[in-house]
Amino acid sequence: MENSKLDSNEKFLIYIQHGSHLLYLFILWVLGWSWDAGFAIGLPSGLIFPMVLFIIISVLSIVITYRFIIPRMLRKENPHNALFIIIVILGCGAEIPSILGLLFGVIGIIDFNAIYWQISFSFILLGFGHSLFLHFFKIQPYLRTSEER
């Protein structure tokens, strides 16, 4: 009979993906510190279009995750076969908003020499929160039911 549990290395890979959001915050902090970027309060009109575009892309990535990728994971009988799909779920559903938050911060540093933490942190927090939601309410139940089979 085939082993239906994930190895510790495979679980570690999933947990590392959750920690990447802290890395994005650290990267923004280092960039802001090294470029001597200030903390910005208001949002300039030059960043409204990228912000709206990033919101749309984030929502689309989350919709794609729930509409197409999660059902594909649920059709797999063995977690080893679904590991790549689990990584894609976390990447598409959670990493994309966080990466867009990092990108928004970098655009603010380059164009306006200021970090718009309220926007960047919101995107990164959305990505981190969504990765936890996906992990506890979608991935873990799938892994538990596949172990019972």
User: Which position has the higher pLDDT, 78 or 125?
Assistant: 125
Tell me what the mean pLDDT of segment 29-45 comes to: 83
Q: Is the pLDDT of residue 18 over 60?
A: yes
Helices (H), the chain: 8-34, 48-64, 70-75, 79-90, 96-112, 117-134, 140-148
Predicted confidence (pLDDT) per residue in 106-132, tens digit = 999 899 888 899 999 999 999 999 999
Predicted confidence (pLDDT) per residue in 53-72, tens digit = 999 999 999 999 999 999 99
Q: Which residue has the tokens 């306006």?
A: 112
pLDDT for 1: 38
- Spatial neighbors of 28 by CB under 8 A, at least 6 apart, are 102, 105, 106, 115, 117, 120
pLDDT for 9: 87
CB atoms within 10 A of CB 17: 18
Model-wide pTM > 0.95:
no
Q: In whole numbers, what is the pLDDT of the chain averaged over residues?
A: 89
How much of the chain exceeds pLDDT 90, in percent?
60
Q: What is the CA radius of gyration of the chain?
A: 18
Q: Is the dihedral of CA 88, 125, 59, 146 positive or negative?
A: positive
The Cα 37–Cα 42 span in angstroms is 14
Please state the domain extents for the chain: 46-148
Q: Is the pLDDT of residue 85 over 70?
A: yes
Position 36 confidence tier, pLDDT thresholds 50, 70, 90 = confident
